[in-house]
Amino acid sequence: MTMDSFEFTKLAGAVLSALLLIFGTRTIIEMTVGHAPEKPGFTLPAAAPAEAAATPAEGAAPAAPAEDIGKEVIALLPKANAEKGKTIFKKCQACHVAEKGKTPTVGPNLWDVVNRKKGSYPGYKYSEAMEKKGGDWTFDDLAHFIHGPKSFVPGTKMMFSGLPTPQDEADVIAYLATLADTPVPLPK
């Protein structure tokens, strides 16, 4: 008894269909069941004060303290470029909207954020740390927060690690200052 090519094709099709069904079902089950960790990420150990003050590796620039970064950004604000800030802000749009009256997404709406009370955008559930921070979003506070959200507000939900340069931070703050019915003038 010989098998012609048509029967061989049917048999091969049936075997491949069965394998596709088995592996496809398995893949779908693995994707839907998920294996999310209890707590996303991991916590890096904080450097001891002696380690933090240690000399940086050869060729590396020493890291500036947060206070110095804030002062540097504030010094750059008078000449900051809001248009460049708007372009840089596109990174922020993964989590934030910045249009009047828009519903917050992952992060709060940043319309009219300059001089707004911290943790106060209606309809957004802030972290307890942000609600307790108090005060208004001054240029100085925005500079520190954008540079290092977790160091300025330990316990914040914001997962952003900061922008690469103080100039980028100043440009974004200049852009944020334009997002209001009455834009906030930059310091002179």
The secondary structure of 42-80 as a DSSP string is -PPPPPPHHHHTSPPPTTPPPPPPHHHHHHHHHHHGGG-
Q: What would the mean pLDDT of 78-83 be, rounded to a whole number? A: 95
Query: Which sequence spans correspond to the domains of the chain?
Result: 67-178
Q: Give the model confidence (pLDDT) of 105-126 as tens digits.
A: 899 999 999 999 999 999 999 9
DSSP for 154-184?
TT-S------SSHHHHHHHHHHHHHSSSSPP
Confidence of residue 33 (pLDDT cuts 50, 70, 90): low
pLDDT for position 50: 41
CA 92 – CA 70 distance, rounded (Å): 19
Average pLDDT, the chain: 83
The yes-or-no verdict on residue 51 having pLDDT over 50 is no
Q: Which two tokens stand for residue 155?
A: 């316990």
pLDDT for position 148: 86
Spell out the residues 6+ positions from residue 146 whose beta carbon is closer than 8 angstroms to its own. 73, 162, 163, 169, 172, 173
- In the three-class reduction of DSSP (H, G, I as helix; E, B as strand; rest coil), residue 115 is classed as coil
Asked if 76 and 170 touch (Cβ cutoff 8 Å), the reply is yes
pLDDT for position 176: 96
pLDDT for position 48: 44
pLDDT for position 184: 94
CATH of range 67-178; options 1.10.238.10, 1.10.760.10, 1.20.1250.20, 1.20.950.20:
1.10.760.10
Confidence of residue 39 (pLDDT cuts 50, 70, 90): low
Asked if 160 and 154 touch (Cβ cutoff 8 Å), the reply is no
Spell out the residues 6+ positions from residue 47 whose beta carbon is closer than 8 angstroms to its own. none
| Beta-ladder partners of 106 | none
CA 129 – CA 131 distance, rounded (Å): 6
DSSP for 78-97?
GG--HHHHHHHGGGGGGT--
- In the three-class reduction of DSSP (H, G, I as helix; E, B as strand; rest coil), residue 99 is classed as coil
Q: What would the mean pLDDT of 18-35 be, rounded to a whole number? A: 80
CA 125 – CA 131 distance, rounded (Å): 9
Q: Give the model confidence (pLDDT) of 83-100 as tens digits.
A: 999 999 998 998 999 999
> Highest mean pLDDT range out of 29-38, 55-64, 140-149, 169-178?
169-178
Confidence of residue 160 (pLDDT cuts 50, 70, 90): confident
Confidence of residue 186 (pLDDT cuts 50, 70, 90): very high
